[in-house]
């Protein structure tokens, strides 16, 4: 089911000067921004981006994240960031891979985990809300 192309996306980015440190490589914290750009594109593919999440009455904070830096990224390097939904029933896990666009070499892997929180009560849901399943086109 998660092999459906709707649950994977890739975005292409060029590393801007303000993302690199004094050594000329991307500062480690900026990788989360690259993940975020890909995550937003992915969620929009099944019409459950951040505006739709809020309108549905749920917010989805990131509660866990990981990055494995395999190779450096540098100023003006063109990269592809792939995001894929790998879990959705009790939480939303999205896995990421970053590739150098020219060589295809994988430079970075990581994931984020988000949980649904009902906005009105501010209570965390232990099962993803029905709206996520509806938007993804899957059954519970």
Query: For the chain, what are the domain ranges?
Result: 5-135
Q: Which residues of the chain have pLDDT under 50?
A: none
pTM here is: 0.94
**Neighbouring residues of 76: CB distance < 8 A, sequence distance ≥ 6:** 14, 15
Q: Which two tokens stand for residue 36?
A: 């975020």
Q: Quote the pLDDT of residue 140.
A: 72
C-alpha 18/C-alpha 99 separation (Å) is 20
Q: Quote the pLDDT of residue 5.
A: 85
Q: How distant is the alpha carbon of residue 80 from its chain centre?
A: 13
b/e code 51-77 from CB counts within 10 Å (16+ = b): eebeebebebeeeeeebeeeeebeeeb
**Neighbouring residues of 121: CB distance < 8 A, sequence distance ≥ 6:** none
Q: What is the pLDDT of residues 98-119, one digit of tens each?
A: 999 999 999 999 999 999 999 9
Q: Quote the pLDDT of residue 130.
A: 96
Q: Quote the pLDDT of residue 1.
A: 59
CATH class held by domain 5-135: alpha beta
């Amino acid at each position: 089911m998660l092999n459906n192309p709707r649950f994977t996306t890739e975005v292409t980015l060029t590393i801007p000067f303000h993302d690199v440190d004094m050594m000329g490589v991307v500062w480690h914290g900026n990788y989360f921004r690259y993940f975020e750009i890909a995550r937003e594109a992915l969620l929009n593919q099944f019409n459950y981006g951040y505006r739709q999440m809020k309108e549905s009455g749920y917010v989805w904070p990131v509660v866990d994240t990981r990055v494995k830096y395999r190779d450096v990224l540098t100023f003006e390097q063109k990269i592809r960031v792939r995001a894929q939904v790998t879990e959705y029933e009790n939480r939303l896990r999205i896995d990421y891979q970053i590739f150098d666009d020219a060589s295809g070499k994988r430079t970075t892997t990581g994931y984020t985990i988000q949980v649904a929180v009902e906005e009105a009560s501010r209570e965390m849901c232990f099962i993803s809300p029905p709206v996520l399943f509806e938007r993804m086109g899957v059954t519970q």
